[in-house]
C-alpha cells in the first residue's frame, strides 16, 4: 500500500472478505492453549476482553465477518512482548493466554490478533500526527446527526460516508431530535447514496409544540423530559418506537457510532443499552456544542430487546461508542475503492479513459454517458442524482485532507 504509517501500526489493510480468514504471515509461538476473545475496551495498555462462554459456535468468534458472541467472561489483559509494535483496538479478535478467569487482580496476555475484516481510521490531529485505526471488524458505521441543535453539517456526514465505504462498512444515518426539525431534506440527500436513514426523537409530550414548559407541580415525566430537551440537564426520554427502530437496524451487527458532541449520541446509546451509563452533556448555549464527557472507544453488547422485555432476551450485536473521534482520515482513500461501494457506477466507469478522475470536469467520463444513456426520464433523473452524490463524496475526499504524492 506504500502509505506512511506509525511505527506501531501493523494495520494491514484488507478488503472485507466473506471467505475464510487467512492466517497472518509472520510465524509466532503457537500458544496452543490460547482462547479467542473480543477487545471491548482499551485504556492505557490494558485491554478489556470478552471471552465467550465455552460451547459458543466457533468459539464465540462468530466466523469471518460474523458477530462475536456478547455473553461470556470479562477479562483484563495486556499485550505479549511480541506485540509491542502492534496496535490492538476495540473490535479486534485476539487470542489470549494466561489467567482468563476474569477474577479481580488477574491479567491475561494477548498473543495474537486475527486478521481484520474492516478497519476504521480517524484523522491525525494536533496531539497525534498519525492516522490511527480506531475500530476493527465493524460492519456498519452509524453517523449520528442532530436535525437541529446543533445544526447538521453535510460535509461531515459525507466524510463519514466516504470513510465507511472505504473501510468496507455500510452506513446508517441516524437523524436525532426530529422533534425539533424535519428529516426530509437530509433523507433525500443521503438515500441516493445507498445510506439507510433512521430517525429518532424525544418522547412526545401532551404539550409538544408548546415552547413553554408546563407547571412543574402538575407536569408529568414527559413534560419534564421535554423541558430537559430544551434546557439540557435531566436525562431526556426518547420516543421508544424510534429507539426500537434503531435497535432493529443494529441487531446482529457490529456497529460503530460516531457523531459530534451534543447530537444526542449518548442519549441514544443509553436508550439502546440501559446499562451503558454513557454520560450525557448539555448543549452549550453559546457554542451550540455539547461537552465531551468521555474519551475512549468502548464496545457495548446490544440487548436484543428493550429493557422491560426481560433479561432472558439476551444480546444481539455490538454497539461501539467512539467519544474521542472527531473526524476520519481520507488521505488514503482511493477513488477506485470508493467506487466499489456503488455497483452501478463502478460498472459504468469501466468505460472511462485511463486515469479518469470521474469528477465533474473529467473529460469523457463514462459516468456522464451513463446518465445520458438512461432509457427514460425517471431513470435519467435518478442516475443524475446518484452521480452528483457520488461526485460530492469524491470532492469531500480531496477537499479537506492533504494528499500525498
Ligand atoms: N429535543 C431533543 N433533544 C435531545 C434528543 N436527544 C438528545 N437530546 C439532548 O441533546 C443534548 C445532548 O445529548 P447527548 O446525548 O449528551 O449528546 P452526545 O452526542 O452524547 O454529546 P457528548 O456527550 O457531548 O458527546 C442533551 O441535552 C439531550 O437531552 C432528542 O431526540 N430531542
Ligand atoms: Zn470517469
Instruction: For the domain made up of 35-119, give the CATH fold.
Output: OB fold (Dihydrolipoamide Acetyltransferase, E2P) (2.40.50)
Q: Nearest ligand to the C-alpha of residue 390?
A: 2
Dig out the grid coordinates for 144 from the structure.
449520528
Measured distance CA(250)–CA(299) in Å, rounded:
13
Separation of 402 CA from ligand 2 center, angstroms?
22
- Kind and range of the H or E element at 268? helix 265-272
**Residue numbering of the annotated binding site:** 176-179, 259-267, 352, 356, 358, 365
Phi, psi of 339 (to 5 degrees): -60, -30
pLDDT digits (tens, 9 = 90+) for 235-276: 789 999 999 999 999 999 999 999 988 999 999 999 999 887
Separation of 288 CA from ligand 1 center, angstroms?
11
pLDDT at 207: 59
pLDDT at 347: 95
pLDDT at 276: 78
Give the atom of ligand 1 at the shortest distance from the alpha carbon of 270: 15
Give the atom of ligand 1 at the shortest distance from the alpha carbon of 180: 1
From the list 333, 369, 376, the residue with the least C-alpha distance to 350 is 369
pLDDT digits (tens, 9 = 90+) for 48-79: 999 987 665 554 545 444 566 667 899 999 99
Classify residue 104 as exposed, middle or buried by CB count within 10 Å of its CB (0-12, 13-18, 19+). exposed
Measured distance CA(250)–CA(196) in Å, rounded:
12
| Residue 69 DSSP one-character state | P
pLDDT digits (tens, 9 = 90+) for 113-172: 999 999 988 877 666 677 788 899 999 999 999 999 999 999 889 989 999 988 889 999
Residue with cell 433525500: 188
* pLDDT for residue 362 is more than 60: yes
CATH class of segment(s) 138-201+238-321: alpha beta
User: What does each C-alpha distance from 306 to 197, 266, 274, 303 come to in angstroms?
Assistant: 21, 17, 9, 7
Could you list the beta-strand ranges (E) of 219-323: 254-258, 298-303, 315-321
Where along the chain do its domains lie? 35-119, 138-201+238-321, 335-400
Dig out the grid coordinates for 261 from the structure.
458532541
Does a cis peptide bond (omega within 30 degrees of 0) precede residue 70?
no
Among 226, 267, 288, the mutation site with the greatest number of ligand 1 atoms within 8 A of its Cβ is: 267
Ligand 1 and 152: CB distance under 6 A: no
The larger pLDDT score, comparing residue 214 to residue 109, is at 109
Separation of 251 CA from ligand 2 center, angstroms?
37
Name the residue with the closest Cα to ligand 1, atom 22: 261
Dig out the grid coordinates for 283 from the structure.
448543549
Instruction: Please state the separation of Cα 95 from the chain's center in Å.
Output: 24
Parallel/antiparallel/unpaired status of strands 132-136 and 170-176: unpaired
Amino acid at each position: 500500500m506504500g502509505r506512511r504509517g506509525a511505527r506501531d501500526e501493523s494495520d494491514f489493510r484488507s478488503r472485507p472478505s466473506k471467505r475464510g480468514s487467512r492466517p497472518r504471515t509472520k510465524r509466532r509461538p503457537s500458544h496452543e492453549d490460547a482462547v479467542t476473545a473480543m477487545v471491548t475496551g482499551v485504556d492505557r495498555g490494558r485491554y478489556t476482553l470478552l471471552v465467550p462462554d465455552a460451547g459458543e459456535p466457533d468459539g464465540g468468534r462468530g466466523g469471518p465477518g460474523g458477530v462475536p458472541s456478547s455473553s461470556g467472561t470479562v477479562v483484563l489483559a495486556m499485550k505479549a512482548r511480541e506485540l509491542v509494535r502492534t496496535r490492538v483496538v476495540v473490535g479486534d479478535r485476539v487470542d489470549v493466554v494466561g489467567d482468563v478467569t476474569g477474577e479481580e487482580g488477574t491479567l491475561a496476555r494477548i498473543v495474537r490478533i486475527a486478521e481484520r475484516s474492516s478497519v476504521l481510521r480517524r484523522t491525525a490531529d494536533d496531539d497525534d500526527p498519525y492516522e490511527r485505526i480506531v475500530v476493527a471488524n465493524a460492519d456498519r458505521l452509524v453517523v449520528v446527526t442532530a436535525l437541529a441543535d446543533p445544526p447538521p453539517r453535510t460535509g461531515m456526514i459525507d466524510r463519514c460516508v466516504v470513510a465507511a465505504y472505504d473501510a468496507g462498512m455500510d452506513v446508517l444515518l441516524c437523524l436525532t431530535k426530529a422533534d425539533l426539525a424535519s428529516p426530509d431534506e437530509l433523507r433525500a440527500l443521503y438515500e441516493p447514496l445507498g445510506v439507510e436513514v433512521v430517525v429518532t426523537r424525544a418522547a412526545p409530550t401532551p404539550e409538544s409544540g408548546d415552547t413553554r414548559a408546563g407547571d412543574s407541580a402538575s407536569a408529568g415525566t414527559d413534560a419534564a423530559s421535554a423541558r430537559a430537551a430544551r434546557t439540557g440537564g435531566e436525562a431526556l426520554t426518547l420516543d421508544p418506537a424510534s429507539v426500537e427502530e434503531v435497535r432493529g437496524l443494529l441487531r446482529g451487527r457490529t456497529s460503530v457510532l460516531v457523531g459530534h458532541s451534543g447530537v444526542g449520541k449518548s442519549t441514544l446509546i443509553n436508550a439502546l443499552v440501559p446499562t451503558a451509563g454513557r454520560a450525557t452533556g448539555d448543549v452549550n448555549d453559546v457554542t451550540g456544542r455539547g461537552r465531551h464527557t468521555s474519551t475512549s472507544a468502548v464496545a457495548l453488547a446490544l440487548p436484543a430487546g428493550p429493557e422491560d422485555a426481560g433479561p432472558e432476551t439476551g444480546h444481539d450485536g455490538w454497539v461501539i461508542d467512539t467519544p474521542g473521534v472527531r473526524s476520519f482520515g481520507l488521505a488514503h482513500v482511493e477513488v477506485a475503492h470508493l467506487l466499489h461501494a456503488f455497483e452501478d457506477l463502478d460498472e459504468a466507469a469501466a468505460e472511462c479513459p485511463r486515469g479518469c478522475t470521474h469528477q465533474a470536469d473529467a473529460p469523457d467520463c463514462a459516468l456522464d454517458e451513463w446518465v445520458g444513456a438512461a432509457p427514460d426520464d425517471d431513470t435519467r433523473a435518478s442516475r443524475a442524482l446518484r452521480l452528483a452524490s457520488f461526485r460530492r463524496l469524491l470532492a469531500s475526499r480531496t477537499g479537506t485532507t492533504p494528499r500525498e504524492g
